[in-house]
Amino acid sequence: MPLIDSDGRTLSDPWRLLAEGEDIPELGPVLVPLRRWLAERDRLLARSEPVGVLLQSSEGPADLSGDLRRVSLIALEFPKFTDGRPYSTARLLRERYGYAGELRATGAVLRDQLQFLRRCGFDSFEVENREAGDAIAEAFREISVSYQAAADEAPRAADVRRGERTGYEQSKVCAGFWAY
């Protein structure tokens, strides 16, 4: 699956997902399931390389709360596109726990979800379909104003109506809402 950032650019992925029982390599960033992190935390942290943790949709961030500064990547798995639990986990990680590292959406991630995922705090996305880079990047520009506040800095509709256009051009505001 292609890995993209929040601007729609394709990224190379340096992270290696370790399967259960697979030896921990000395070099290179590794991504491990939460269960393995909890069992082998000290051994993983003894390496001089970055460590990431993969959370299933049924796993919450509380088990990681004391280690967030030591984890460079948290990948949240979407087992199917209709499972919204990773959205909530992402918001909790960013807003309640203050996680500042990379937050990745993986699994059943569709183009139509990208902007909403970014609003919840995701930085990178493993997208199921292999659309062209421009089509993926366009997904982040399709909606310029949102109604609710989120983990991102996008202007809310109420702010735009009051004239607070934080960094967005007036002409790019949602059609049918402002007439210029």
Rounded Cα gap, residues 33 and 52, in angstroms:
9
Residue 33: pLDDT band by 50, 70, 90 thresholds?
very high
Structural domain count of the chain: 2
Q: Which of 91-105, 109-123, 131-145, 162-176 has the lowest mean pLDDT?
A: 162-176
Contacts 24+ apart (CB under 8 A), 67-70: 67/37, 67/41, 68/93, 68/97, 68/98, 68/99, 68/101, 70/45
Rounded Cα gap, residues 77 and 64, in angstroms:
16
> Does one domain contain both 19 and 80?
yes
> Does one domain contain both 129 and 54?
yes
Question: Is residue 164 scored above 80 in pLDDT?
Answer: no
Domain that holds residue 52: 3-142
Q: Are 86 and 105 in contact (CB under 8 A)?
A: yes
> Does one domain contain both 13 and 27?
yes
Q: Are 54 and 77 in contact (CB under 8 A)?
A: yes
Which pTM was predicted? 0.76
> Does one domain contain both 101 and 160?
no
**What CATH number is attached to the domain comprising 51?**
3.20.20.70
> Does one domain contain both 108 and 180?
no
> Does one domain contain both 95 and 119?
yes
User: What mean pLDDT is reported for the chain?
Assistant: 81
> Does one domain contain both 136 and 149?
no
